[in-house]
Structure 1
Amino acid sequence: MGQMTLAEKIASLHQAVPALPRLGLAAFRTGTEALHGVSWLGTATVFPQPVGLAASWDTDLVRRVGDAVATEVRAKHAADPTVSLNVWAPVVNPLRNPLWGRNEEGYSEDPALTAEIATAFCSGLRGDHPAFWKTVPTLKHFLAYNNEVDRAVTSSQLRPRVLHEYELPAYRGPVEAGVVGAVMPSYNLVDGRPNHVARELLDELRSWTPASLLVVSDAAAPSNLVEGERYFTSGAESHAAALLAGVDSFTDHDTDSGPTVRDVTAALEAGLLTEDDVDRAVVRLLELRLRTGELDPDLDPYASIPADAIDLPEHRALAREATAAGVVVLANDGILPLLGPDRAAPRQVAVVGPLAERVLHDWYSGTPPYLSDLGSALADRLSDAEVTVVDGADRIGLRARSTGTYLSVSEPDGTVTASAERCDLTAQLDVTDWGHGVVTLRSAATDALLSGGSWIVRADASRVGGWVAQETFRLHRHTDGAWSVQHVGSGRWLRVQHGSLTLVTDATTLEDAERFDLRTVRSGEAAVAEAAGAADVVVVAVGNDPHVLGRETEDRPDLDLPRASQEIWRAAVEANDRAVLAVVSSYPYALGDAAEQAAAVVWSSHAGQELGPGLTDVLVGDVEPTGRLTQTWVASTADAGDILDYDIVSAKSTYWYDETAPLYAFGHGLGYAGASYGRTTSPSSVEVVADGHVAPFDVSVEVTNTGDRPLHELVQVYVSLPDQHPAGRRRRLGGHHRVVLAPGESRRVEVTVDPASLATWDAHHDRWQTAPGSYRLDLGRSSVDVRSVESVEVVGPHAPSLGLGDTVSAIAFDTVRNLDLVPWSPLHGTALGVRRGARNGEAVYSRVDLEDVTEVRLSAARWSGSPGPSRDRATLSLVLPDGTRSGSLTLPAATEVWTEVVLPVPESARRLGDLTVRLEGSARIAHLDLAGPQV
């Protein structure tokens, strides 16, 4: 770096780093997408979506998948050296709410399990050489990011307990394991401050490892600091703040580094940055490049991976193994497996539904070398059976009223014109309804989807795709029975051109749209009922298209199956009660009556090229089902809670706190053999030893296979806090261990309990605390299927009460009402202020000993621009342990100036109890000092 000019160093801060031939440095670019395979770079093996991969609970499998992905990244790099060996994967945001549009990209609702799976995947991506890395993984997206709507401007509220117990652990595990070389902040704000300028959070991140850690911005996030969030008034200010906070590489304006160079240069000229600040970021980038072997190619053990190491036979086999391992049997009345020594093989099988013969892609999918769907795979495996496949789509014709002719698909480019006199095959369209009125239209003649992305409507798409999907439409029925069609991607309505009769997407109003008469050629429900009624067993394959109604930039509207899929299910089960519901999806569903009606329910993620064979392996019993849910399937959309409420403690969300009965619990999944749990053992007591934690300890249980097939049992341990614990109720995964037992075999299974599952964050003292008391240990098959209960007594000190001489951060409250965490200053610290729309609010600090305290001194300020009906007021008051109120102090008129204000504590109220601080209007507080008599 010492040989680089300042201009060269500034240019290195952009994602697209120019070559420096005089120093032997090639051009470099951060970020190859590799979420579940190499994305957007041509043919590559497509493994299951991360949520499906995690459902295996198998870290060795996940590591092997990561290793295969890294091999294919290296192969792409060998073919094209501009392909970056810095991969932007994995996503480790805990799956807090199933309405999140990017649910498929994460691993688990539980942060510890997320960290465990992420560490395994990163280990595979990194490789095992001590010095050189196969690829350099990047954790996404730091921090508290689980909503797509307004994702770049919403602020996630993270009280210290939620930050330290729920959000940070997902990142800390892989960082501490030394398998991560970079981290990407998320678009959103946390506690009112954009994550890209949150220095305290990035400092915390880097404190977990002595190794260099590059921080790369998310795409366009630097510009968003000024243009969207309007947190800064100039690019010079925003780039200086981000660089000082710890961001090292700016992903902005695609390959055009000009704006980044301009803004960093302006920041230097204005004295907002020094060259040392630039150097610090450049060093981290060079250290990342050094790890890849770029600067020592002769020593790089991975440099020999050839360009053709793509779609290897072992990768195909691994994709199928991973698919099967992630299949979760949610319910089974005995109909599964379809084959076995004690049952007759079905002679006729119907496979119906929109996913019966389709394998769908998500935004981060690569281009698979082949696709194998469920219907084809079952037909191959059940070669002696007659397998009928019906997609359940209505087949229709649309006759334009303006011409009296049908829409028809023309060869060779698939242009749609209103030119058919008859509703023959070229004029027939298969309508698949994905819910909320969004449909795809597929040509019956060519099997291509209609697309409206280029003005002229053509049947030229093999699948829904693109940043803005161009293959989705809405059908509108007029009061006179006519229909009009809207192109969702553009918002425009379809119109038939005069003269050419070409169908185009240029009508801006419904009045200008073409009106069609709709003719139903074939009822999808009727075809499903016919096929199901003639079968020995029917498999109904439903789910989502990953580009529709739930994806990056779009959260889900609800958790319900699409109405059309519900009707397909109803038609099938009414015709044949031997119906298996196969849900292939990116996220959980609230299944309603279908969950009770189904003879069996199975789930798979969109598992990529081997979806059909892997799912078939489990359905027929060639592979024992080992998948377990890594997130709760709630019973209704209402049970999912507010997607924007990140305070899982007060919201009582996630399986840690939620008391509503789930449809299928966290950790749930059935095998084909029964299990019984016998005698358990655990230590009677454990001691707090260091950093507020106990040492790891083991619990054991005797497990017996009561079936006639091999049992793959995932023994899970859940830890509940003691009654009367200062933190209240919480129950979380403490450990798990898988055992394989032969029929009739019994074995004692030991599970190591993670000390973190007993600890809570003591916000009063800013440290971990494992409170003394009796902790309940539930051993079983899920978070609610408990087979045995033990307890362990924790021996250690109680957390001291706050008292005379203590200073406590205002955000260290125990309960809060109508207050938000807000910045103390734009770039540093956190305070409390009244929530938007509220007149007042209060924070309660529990177990405060006021015996010798005569006054409470608060760091407070009146904040200009504070929202709310009482913004012209700025008052503070205390509610003391005896219920009395101390004063009502109005803050000085000066705004955004922190000052100390004093509220007295009468002698009658000086006792142990709850201290409440009440804020009104534009008042903010940063910390409290518990003071005594002046000496």
Structure 2
Amino acid sequence: MTAQPPSTPPLRHPFRDRTLPFAKRVDDLLSRLTLDEKVSFLHQFAPAVERLGVAAFRTGQEALHGVAWMGPATVFPQAVGLGATWNPELVRRVGDAVSKEARAMRARDDRVGLNVWSPTVNLLRNPLWGRNEEGYSEDPGLTSAIATAYTRGLRGDHPTYWRTAPVLKHWLAHNNETDRDTSSASVRPRVLREYDLRAFRETVEAGAVAGVMPAYNLVNGRPNHLSPYLREHLRTWTDEDLLICSDAGAPSNLVDSERYFDTHEEATAAALLAGVDSFTDHGTDSSKIAARLHGALERGLLTEADVDTAVRHQLSVRFRLGEFDDHDEPGAFDTPEHRALALEAAEQAVVLLKNDGLLPLAPGTRVAVVGLLADECKLDWYSGSLLHRTTPLEGIYDRFGADHVTFAEGVDRVRLRTPDGTYLHVLPAPEDPASVPSGVAALDPALVAGRTDLPPLTHDPVGTELALVDWDGGVLTLRAPDGRYLSVAEDGYVRASADQPGGWVVQETFRLEPYGHGHLLRHLGTGHHVQVAADGVKVAEADPTVFELVVAERGEEAVTRAAAGADVVVVVAGNDPHINGRETEDRTTLRLPPHQERLLRAARAANPRTVLVLTSAYPYAFDPAPLSAALWTAHGGQSAGTALARVLAGDVSPSGRLPQTWYASDADLPGLLDYDVIGSRQTYLYFEGTPLYPFGHGLSYASFGYGDPRAEVDGDSVRVSFTVTHTGDRRAAEVAQLYARAAQESPTPRPRRELLAHERLSLAPGESRTVTFEVPLTALAFWDVSHSRWRLAPGPYDLLIGASSEDVRLRLTLHLDGEPSTPRPVLERGLSAADFDEQGGIEIVDRSKVSGDAVTPVGGGTGELLYRDCDFGAGAAGLTVSVAGGGSLDIALDGTEPLATLSPTAPTSSPYDYTTLTAPITAAGVHDVHVRLRGPLRLAHVGFSGGGSKAADDGDGVRARDR
């Protein structure tokens, strides 16, 4: 018998060779994958390739302010609260803690992903946005500073491997939930460059970003998942391979809701070519996306090379995470350091809005704690489950002593009576396994909506007194005496089965609708009315029960009793993050809900020493005049109550600063879908009214003096220095802020002031510190639409130093040479339609499905455009316009009679079928050009020609002709 040679060890492929650069290893692995395998990698849930030892991979782990959706984790303040700290170093430490918890949680549950979808860098342009809680600030500079810090923490500090791979959300100009998958943000070039792109750019350029997620909405008529800016801007900002992950369901929206393409094969191919590398669609079922990609390949809409490009971006991230080197950084979970950090972040997020000297509260003060959020620790859609928690009431109990604290929640207590004289009744929850019917699981401590193992509501002669809260707009929650919220499960029965309102579709909200001499009770989650049936209370499409609302006690009555016997009343008001302002739902008003206004009035009437604590995901408009003090904090995570109590007691001086303008009324806001922050004078950059509280505002228990300002230009930057001196009697933090503005009037609107830099200083009484900022002169430049480039205008610039955008303590003036304005060279470049200086009644739309902009009147009506200082040189003799659709346009100089009126002989076949119209004109010298559009006409470009010369191109290197 012949001896057999020893078996050959398995081949170690080069992609496993740690000595090779990542790029070569990616190329090697990519070359070993079949086309089917590569296509399968393009879905969110990429399968394993067992023959190569490649594991399955999932993009997308939510980690906005802690690891979310994966069970218990450390919960930090909401993102807008982290923005209110104005402390990038603190936020970096929060990111570091979150990434360590992600690694620790993954070690015991491989469903936890390391490609984290956070932070959100959308700018908080309009405070009615339902997802205001997810952003950091209305200012692009502050947003990018906080976002950069968080991504650095998420990335970790290993020189080679990333602890987690952060993906920024949501590209681009995304600030509305109303019609979010079909609405288009009209974003002029200046707003695009100076505002919306800036927060993304500075964060990506900092080097700790693994990718970006496009938003659901459209920008200038084109879905963000087809954005040419992904290629033209984003991928030019870094040498790293960026992974572009679609938002959930957005690839299908291109056909289903947006109707941008006729077939999913076309849509999927277009998204891939635009830059999308990972398709989040149809949950864990990857078959539909794979079929669409294969269909696109068969139709010639894609090549295998296009697929390779997308897979390469994904593999690059996976290599950086150490997946192919068995690298697994040790994690840390719920450590004392993480708990202390959650408290520190919550303390620094508290903003003192007003203080007449009542705060801090002295030891021994008798405190009445009242309000709907006084004993709540609210979570939002992107929170993890709480391991620890303190409510404001619990924090104040602990700090001031239970014998010095009284409490009144302020809910209305009601019974719902049926026509037969009985009342809705909540059966007791099972308390132990012995009391649970056979086959039914015992009640968990944490109740969740959707449970069917609890008894439905019934009715009896006595009924149950329910706590009713109106969250505004008639949206109600109803709660049993033991704290359980009424909810509806899939079987349609009404049960007391939730510990909080929540879920993608909130099943704990109702509305009382007047009907005859009573009310119908509509369940908002299903849209159906409540019916009292023989087998229990349920929702049904027919035969609703008419209820009489019997009020046992109004909430303000309890508040009045508690407030009257206290030294100080603390009214805790605000929002529930799952109701009236959240993902999928914008707010409709800045005002406090009427129920909470009633409680606040009752507290003030009973005790003028009233402190309002707003705990909310967004700003409110309220009257601070009757209040002794007012504070705001975002929902502060697990340590919110302790942090608030320590601030009220003066254990720490409040040091948070507002990351966005607080407006005085709804009338100060433009339409939610108006993204032109320049034209409609939005945010502190342009707002000309009087805010309730300005951007950067926040008071302290200490006082600070500013002095010794100096500024000098050094090459391409300006160095600004000044001193800050603590003039109070307790250690406290100040946030010194530097703003600038062009001091000379200009036809080009510039910001009223713009944040250039800030620094947070912790100072002891009497201590002074010199603050020095090095600011590049490019920070003072603006996007010159006349020449499509950045320009620093010459002239004087005011440097404003102080404690907020309006609390200016020091002023300096710099005179900069800059680059003078020159007229538009219209004979050489013509006018790209979207490069207007001013407009009225115009929106920017997509020139083609791939790239470029055009303009059209809103709703097919009438619109006007102004292009200033157009240089016709010695003379222009011809005019050409590139248009699509139907309608007409006039072109005039300096507001005089039109030079020409042009109209297609018939509407073009599609909005993207451009035709060229021509007319003879006579124009010389420098003039303002006025264009008036009528009807559903799209204008892409206006060209002018001199005697005998050809028409100018349209700025894209294409002659103005049919396209």
TM-score by length of 2: 0.90
Distance 1:6 1:463, change over 3 A: same
User: Do the aligned partners of 2:507 and 2:524 also contact (CA within 8 Å) in 1?
Assistant: yes
| CA positional deviation for 1:315 | 0.9
| CA positional deviation for 1:686 | 6.8
| CA positional deviation for 1:217 | 0.5
1:303 aligns with 2:329: yes
Q: Which residue of 1 aligns with 2:832?
A: 809
User: Do the aligned partners of 1:853 and 1:930 also contact (CA within 8 Å) in 2?
Assistant: no
1:879 aligns with 2:892: yes
In 2, distance between residues paired with 1:347 and 1:886?
Answer: 77
Q: Which residue of 2 aligns with 1:474?
A: 511
User: Do the aligned partners of 1:182 and 1:213 also contact (CA within 8 Å) in 2?
Assistant: yes
| CA positional deviation for 1:433 | 1.9
- Structure 2: give runs of 5+ residues left out of the alignment: 1-29, 431-452, 950-963
Q: Which residue of 1 aligns with 2:924?
A: 910
Select 2:941's aligned residue among 908, 915, 927: 927
In 2, distance between residues paired with 1:577 and 1:680?
Answer: 42
- Classify the secondary structure of the residue corresponding to 2:625: helix
- The one-letter code sitting in structure 1 at the alignment partner of 2:420 is S
Select 2:64's aligned residue among 23, 29, 35: 35
Select 1:497's aligned residue among 515, 533, 550: 533
1:795 aligns with 2:843: no
1:901 aligns with 2:917: yes
Deviations 1:290-337 (A, max 9, x none): 01100011xx2x4333xxx32111111110100001000000011111
Distance 1:54 1:756, change over 3 A: farther
In 1, distance between residues paired with 2:762 and 2:342?
Answer: 22
In 2, distance between residues paired with 1:491 and 1:805?
Answer: 60
- Classify the secondary structure of the residue corresponding to 2:73: coil
Deviations 1:562-604 (A, max 9, x none): 101011111111111111100000000001x3x1111110011
Q: Which residue of 1 aligns with 2:757?
A: 735
- The one-letter code sitting in structure 2 at the alignment partner of 1:651 is S
In 1, distance between residues paired with 2:394 and 2:501?
Answer: 21
- Classify the secondary structure of the residue corresponding to 1:140: strand
Deviations 1:180-220 (A, max 9, x none): 00110001111111111122444311110011001011000
User: Do the aligned partners of 1:725 and 1:771 also contact (CA within 8 Å) in 2?
Assistant: no
| Equivalent residue runs for 1:10-21 within 5 Å | 10-21=39-50
Q: Which residue of 1 aligns with 2:488?
A: 452
1:558 aligns with 2:589: yes
1:698 aligns with 2:719: yes
- The one-letter code sitting in structure 2 at the alignment partner of 1:828 is S
- Classify the secondary structure of the residue corresponding to 1:2: helix
In 1, distance between residues paired with 2:918 and 2:877?
Answer: 7
Deviations 1:69-90 (A, max 9, x none): 1011111211123422100001
In 2, distance between residues paired with 1:402 and 1:241?
Answer: 62
In 2, distance between residues paired with 1:727 and 1:362?
Answer: 42
| CA positional deviation for 1:700 | 2.5
| CA positional deviation for 1:385 | 4.8
Q: Which residue of 2 aligns with 1:399?
A: 417
Q: Which residue of 1 aligns with 2:524?
A: 488
1:749 aligns with 2:791: no
User: Do the aligned partners of 1:145 and 1:186 also contact (CA within 8 Å) in 2?
Assistant: yes
Distance 1:33 1:399, change over 3 A: same
- Structure 1: give runs of 5+ residues left out of the alignment: 340-344, 688-694, 864-870
- Classify the secondary structure of the residue corresponding to 2:176: coil
Q: Which residue of 2 aligns with 1:436?
A: 473
Deviations 1:703-738 (A, max 9, x none): 332322224221112211232334223121121122
User: Do the aligned partners of 1:540 and 1:581 also contact (CA within 8 Å) in 2?
Assistant: yes
Distance 1:231 1:574, change over 3 A: same
Q: Which residue of 2 aligns with 1:361?
A: 379
| CA positional deviation for 1:616 | 1.3
Deviates more, 1:73-82 or 1:566-575: 73-82
Deviations 1:73-121 (A, max 9, x none): 1112111234221000010000000000000000000011111100000
- Classify the secondary structure of the residue corresponding to 1:664: coil
Select 1:853's aligned residue among 875, 878, 894: 875
User: Do the aligned partners of 2:369 and 2:569 also contact (CA within 8 Å) in 1?
Assistant: yes
Q: Which residue of 2 aligns with 1:342?
A: none
Distance 1:931 1:405, change over 3 A: closer
Distance 1:611 1:833, change over 3 A: same
Deviates more, 1:318-327 or 1:516-525: 516-525
| CA positional deviation for 1:371 | 1.6
- The one-letter code sitting in structure 2 at the alignment partner of 1:515 is V
Select 2:854's aligned residue among 818, 831, 854: 831
User: Do the aligned partners of 1:493 and 1:513 also contact (CA within 8 Å) in 2?
Assistant: yes
- Classify the secondary structure of the residue corresponding to 1:109: coil
User: Do the aligned partners of 1:399 and 1:418 also contact (CA within 8 Å) in 2?
Assistant: no
Deviations 1:535-563 (A, max 9, x none): 11111000000000000000001111110
1:127 aligns with 2:140: no
Deviations 1:434-460 (A, max 9, x none): 11111111111x211111233111111
Deviates more, 1:409-418 or 1:44-53: 409-418
Deviations 1:390-449 (A, max 9, x none): 1111222222223534423343365344443335xxx111112211111111111x2111
Deviates more, 1:66-75 or 1:519-528: 519-528
| CA positional deviation for 1:370 | 2.1
Q: Which residue of 2 aligns with 1:465?
A: 502
In 2, distance between residues paired with 1:885 and 1:272?
Answer: 45
In 1, distance between residues paired with 2:921 and 2:722?
Answer: 54
Q: Which residue of 2 aligns with 1:506?
A: 540
1:590 aligns with 2:612: no
Q: Which residue of 2 aligns with 1:111?
A: 140
1:720 aligns with 2:746: no
In 2, distance between residues paired with 1:261 and 1:456?
Answer: 39
User: Do the aligned partners of 1:717 and 1:753 also contact (CA within 8 Å) in 2?
Assistant: no
Distance 1:686 1:810, change over 3 A: farther
Q: Which residue of 2 aligns with 1:844?
A: 866
Deviates more, 1:702-711 or 1:148-157: 702-711
| Equivalent residue runs for 1:18-417 within 5 Å | 18-297=47-326, 300=327, 302-305=328-331, 309-339=332-362, 345-383=363-401, 385-402=403-420, 404-412=422-430, 414-417=454-457
In 1, distance between residues paired with 2:794 and 2:403?
Answer: 62
Deviations 1:865-923 (A, max 9, x none): xxxxxx4xx323321137242021223434454344334442xx522231122323243
| CA positional deviation for 1:799 | 3.5
- Classify the secondary structure of the residue corresponding to 1:357: coil
Q: Which residue of 2 aligns with 1:573?
A: 604
In 1, distance between residues paired with 2:423 and 2:657?
Answer: 53
- The one-letter code sitting in structure 2 at the alignment partner of 1:363 is W
Distance 1:671 1:531, change over 3 A: same
| Equivalent residue runs for 1:418-433 within 5 Å | 418-423=458-463, 427-433=464-470
- Classify the secondary structure of the residue corresponding to 1:682: strand
- The one-letter code sitting in structure 1 at the alignment partner of 2:540 is D
Distance 1:835 1:515, change over 3 A: closer
- The one-letter code sitting in structure 1 at the alignment partner of 2:760 is R
- Classify the secondary structure of the residue corresponding to 1:627: coil
Deviations 1:805-852 (A, max 9, x none): 2334221110112222122212121112222141x3222111112232
In 1, distance between residues paired with 2:162 and 2:46?
Answer: 20
Distance 1:880 1:310, change over 3 A: same
- The one-letter code sitting in structure 1 at the alignment partner of 2:243 is L
Q: How well do the aligned residues superpose, as a CA RMSD in angstroms? A: 1.8
- Classify the secondary structure of the residue corresponding to 2:899: strand
Select 2:553's aligned residue among 522, 537, 541: 522
Deviations 1:314-363 (A, max 9, x none): 11111010000100000001111113xxxxx2342111001111111111
User: Do the aligned partners of 2:881 and 2:918 also contact (CA within 8 Å) in 1?
Assistant: no
Distance 1:170 1:443, change over 3 A: same
- The one-letter code sitting in structure 2 at the alignment partner of 1:698 is R
Deviates more, 1:764-773 or 1:147-156: 764-773
Distance 1:395 1:531, change over 3 A: same
Deviations 1:360-387 (A, max 9, x none): 1111111011221111111111127521
Q: Which residue of 2 aligns with 1:866?
A: none
